[in-house]
Amino acid sequence: MTIYLASESPRRSMLLQKIGLNFRRIKPNAEEISEEDLEPEEYVITNAVRKARSILPQIDEGIIIAADTIVVKDSEILGKPLDEKDAIRMLSKLSGASHDVYTAIVLLEKGTNKMEVEIEQTRVEMRKISSKQIQKYVESGEPLDAAGAYKIQERGAKFIRRIEGCYYNVVGLPISMLVEMLKKFNVYV
């Protein structure tokens, strides 16, 4: 059975490679929904399901893995920043405080339409970040491709005081949860 990753994320691909999962990556053809009036869990599930379903026409058979990750602070959903100004705004908001990271994973099997959906939540506490540090980090370009405008596994690590929960959730794919979900499709890694 072929496994497909409905994602362009190099981080998600890297994590699947690290656990020894053979897969093919396909770019999903789904625009993310607006976050208005949705709870964080509903938002990530909806986006992950849309990503999974968007690649169904491109495959004959197999299991699709799709995921969506967001950062939530004071009930505001922070996806990827629109530009440098937005990244500065997000990092300033997260500085010196705690926030939550949500990832929904969807597994969808073409043919049977069997679908499993799970959500992981991780609490992240950032230390206080000066405006000069934020500016320098944003100028590196790294924050522009990450929910909440930081990458915990790269330069953004220096801003993290502590986390409660799954580290890989913050990276963008909670591996332990995914491995358990794959067992329901008789896929063992």
Coil, strand, or helix at residue 35?
A: coil
Packing angle, helices 84-94 and 131-139, rounded to 10: 140
Helix then strand then coil, in percent of the chain rounded to 5, is: 40, 30, 35
- Record the tokens describing residue 153, joined without a space: 């596994």
Catalytic residues: 68
d(CA 144, CA 189): 32
